[in-house]
Structure 1
Amino acid sequence: MTAAAAGFRMPAEWAPHERTWMAWPRPNLTFPTAEDLAEGRRAWANVARAIRRFEPVTVVCAPGQCEEARELLGEDIDIVERDLDDAWMRDIGPTFLTNGQGELAAVHWTFNGWGENPESAGWEHDSTMGAHVAGLAGARTYASRLVNEGGGIHVDGEGTVLLTDTVQLGPERNPDWTREQVEAEIHAQLGTTKAIWLPRGLTGDYPPNGFGTLGHIDIVAAFAAPGTVVVHTQPDPAHPDHEVCKENVEILKNATDARGRRLEVVEVPAPTVLEADGHWVDYSYINHYLCNGGVVLCAFGDERDEIAAGVFRRLFPERTVVLVDARTIFASGGGIHCITQQQPEV
């Protein structure tokens, strides 16, 4: 029996949380030097402490790494010890589900290192992290054969899911799956009924631009409410994402959700910086994290940080918007949403 057949579905991120799960950076290819690792750990800790203002946080930490984690995280964040490869809990962790009857479940997707990316840090331990965290949370676990990550999906809690062609349909992950098969599996695990596909992600999320996921949706577009979606736009024609974003906006403006509503599309302009370390940046405010009473928003030391914060304050007037510098996280291959995973209240 699938999760949806058993009555479970994935709640929207704005639904109340029991806690947030994260993973602690450890020495690997993502952090090639001691200085990189130290900087990464400070960035992860800043996000964890920002979230802890609003809800409990549990951090999974590799053996031998927990003492330094405690020093940076403080005493009010829970730490559990377990072997892991990298620190992207959105992708290696479970996707949690609820059934409205006080029960918690989780999908454990098949994980292959973001399409067997040779630049990734390996995934022997991360490939089993979803089931492990689900067990720690006391969730019933449903295993999926679909190669997928949490950053590759975004739901409205009312039946609609956002996806990208180059993730779920890319030859690096699911070469033998058709679009219809992917949709059927996604719906069977998440309890959704309508998929809206965007053709690709941002340019900086693909080789040769360093670390990347080959097009995760969570730096491109996200639901902010049923019928409302925020979408990344690149105002500068000098950046290749200018055309990518125009296409995405057009698709979303012409899309309807699972309940037949035409989407309200809220465009959020990218920061003004175009390149970093010789690559096009994929800096995006869309890669935010909603927690109980808060919005933890990526900041880039850019004049558009406050513009983005204003957009999110209007969208979430009952929440406190907290800006956290995400440049170190993006340099490692993701953003704030990528290093967090919500466990919903049941």
Structure 2
Amino acid sequence: MTWRMPAESAPHERTWMAFPCEGPTLGETAQAAEECYRAWTAVARTIAEFEPVTMVADPRETSRARDLLGSDVTILEAPLDEFWMRDVGPTFVLDADRPGVLGAVDWIFNGWGDHEWSQWHKSAGMARIVAEASGAELISSLLVNEGGGIHVDGAGTVLLTETVQLDPRRNPYADRARVEAELARTIGATHFIWLPRGLTRDYEQFGTNGHVDIVAGMPAPGRVLLHHQPDPDHPDHDVTRDLRTFLAQQTDAAGRPLEIIDVPAPECLTDAEGFVDWSYLNHLVVNDGIVVCGFGEEKADARAREILQQAYPGRRAVTVDSRAIFERGGGIHCITQQQPALLPTALPTGVAR
């Protein structure tokens, strides 16, 4: 069998999410918790305008989830602690040799490196729960990895970061060759672009140590969307400049030089914790649409929608205020996981479609 992870822009069966529950991500006050519930709910309801959504809810939160989401979203009850579905859930793949088969890669999840603050033991089993519910064939992996740590073009190229998969808190005995061999086996990657690092805030206490899905993505083979911080007072100005220089020297799986599309950051530079990592790269592509992070900056948000609509022709971009999500360490892409539609089954010769 040959597993392959489709591009995010390929047709979806549905999107998976996980509903907030008590823990570090929810917040310490009632107001913070309500902000978290509202943010996750707004994202789910927006996605549901384009495609089905299944929300996994901890038994303690099932009633609240049903009240907030109504009939727009399917609820699946299962134990949770962390609820960043991109990272705790499976990465879905397809098998070109068996068109009717869906696969679900079960990475090891250890709370982004088993930090003292991370609560992850319940959600470490989420991939198996989602795989069973979706009817997917489980693909077990010994690689500690998260869905936010990889981004593919659907044609063999994968973006990843040296400080994530090679993080000694995740994979202390891994090297590039071992990681690449596992990604070839599980998601069908044939060409690997190792970014040297991610955004500055992602290396602070509650960061992921460099997830790629907040800094770069591939809307199509040979094209890269890149976070651009134009303000020299922000440390990511130098980071994104250096990443642009690096990517300009890379090719995709077909040997094509990469066309780099800059996606400027919002104007806001700091919050109460320091320099922000607000990024429009952490969007989700859905059927006929793009769900884009918004930051309350009308001009910057509109510019991002325009750039992304050009990068994904034929899709309508919709902004959802994501400041409450970013305060907790991620964005819209981080809290979602797309399930690709199955490949069409070949018909016998002479049978009309």
- Under TM normalisation by the shorter chain, which class is it? over 0.9
Alignment check: 8 A CA contact 2:45 2:72 kept: no
Q: For residues 43-91 of structure 1, what are the alpha-carbon distances to aligned partners after superposition, in whole Å with 9 as ceiling and x for unaligned?
A: 0000000100000000000002111111211212100111011110000
The one-letter amino acid of 2:72's match is D
Q: For residues 5-57 of structure 1, what are the alpha-carbon distances to aligned partners after superposition, in whole Å with 9 as ceiling and x for unaligned?
A: x2221000000000000000001111222221111010000000010000000
The one-letter amino acid of 2:226's match is V
Counterpart in the other structure of 2:182: 185
Tell me by how many angstroms 1:285 deviates: 0.2
The one-letter amino acid of 2:222's match is G
The one-letter amino acid of 1:253's match is A
Match of 2:329 among 325, 328, 333: 333
Tell me by how many angstroms 1:183 deviates: 1.0
3-state SS of 1:238 partner: coil
Q: Give, in whole Å, the separation in 2 of the partners of 1:247 and 1:118.
A: 32
Kindly indicate whether residue 132 of structure 2 is the aligned counterpart of residue 135 of structure 1. Answer: yes
Match of 1:112 among 98, 106, 110: 110
Q: For residues 153-176 of structure 1, what are the alpha-carbon distances to aligned partners after superposition, in whole Å with 9 as ceiling and x for unaligned?
A: 000000000000110011111111
TM (norm. structure 2) is 0.94
Kindly indicate whether residue 80 of structure 2 is the aligned counterpart of residue 84 of structure 1. Answer: yes
The one-letter amino acid of 1:167's match is V
Runs of 5+ consecutive residues of structure 2 not aligned to the other structure: 343-353
Kindly indicate whether residue 269 of structure 2 is the aligned counterpart of residue 271 of structure 1. Answer: no
3-state SS of 2:71 partner: coil
The one-letter amino acid of 1:113's match is G
Q: For residues 125-184 of structure 1, what are the alpha-carbon distances to aligned partners after superposition, in whole Å with 9 as ceiling and x for unaligned?
A: 111111111111010011111100000000000000000011001111111111111111
Tell me by how many angstroms 1:307 deviates: 1.0
Q: How does 1:230-245 map to 2 (within 5 A)?
A: 230-245=225-240
Compare 335-344 and 172-181 and name the one that shifted more.
Answer: 172-181
Compare 27-36 and 128-137 and name the one that shifted more.
Answer: 27-36
Match of 2:295 among 300, 312, 321: 300
Aligned residues: 338
Q: Give, in whole Å, the separation in 1 of the partners of 2:115 and 2:28.
A: 16
The one-letter amino acid of 2:128's match is A
After the TM superposition, list the runs of 4 or more consecutive aligned residues in structure 1 that deviate by more than 3 angstroms.
Answer: none
3-state SS of 1:183 partner: helix
Counterpart in the other structure of 1:205: 202
Alignment check: 8 A CA contact 2:20 2:37 kept: yes
TM (norm. structure 1) is 0.96
Match of 1:61 among 57, 60, 74: 57
The one-letter amino acid of 1:257's match is D
Q: For residues 83-130 of structure 1, what are the alpha-carbon distances to aligned partners after superposition, in whole Å with 9 as ceiling and x for unaligned?
A: 01111000000000111311101100011100112232x111111111
3-state SS of 1:243 partner: helix
Kindly indicate whether residue 14 of structure 2 is the aligned counterpart of residue 19 of structure 1. Answer: yes
The one-letter amino acid of 2:164's match is V
Q: How does 1:204-223 map to 2 (within 5 A)?
A: 204-208=201-205, 211-223=206-218
Runs of 5+ consecutive residues of structure 1 not aligned to the other structure: 1-5
Counterpart in the other structure of 1:3: none
Q: Give, in whole Å, the separation in 1 of the partners of 2:171 and 2:60.
A: 36
3-state SS of 2:87 partner: helix
Counterpart in the other structure of 2:281: 286
Q: For residues 214-268 of structure 1, what are the alpha-carbon distances to aligned partners after superposition, in whole Å with 9 as ceiling and x for unaligned?
A: 1100001001111111000110111111111011111111110111111111011
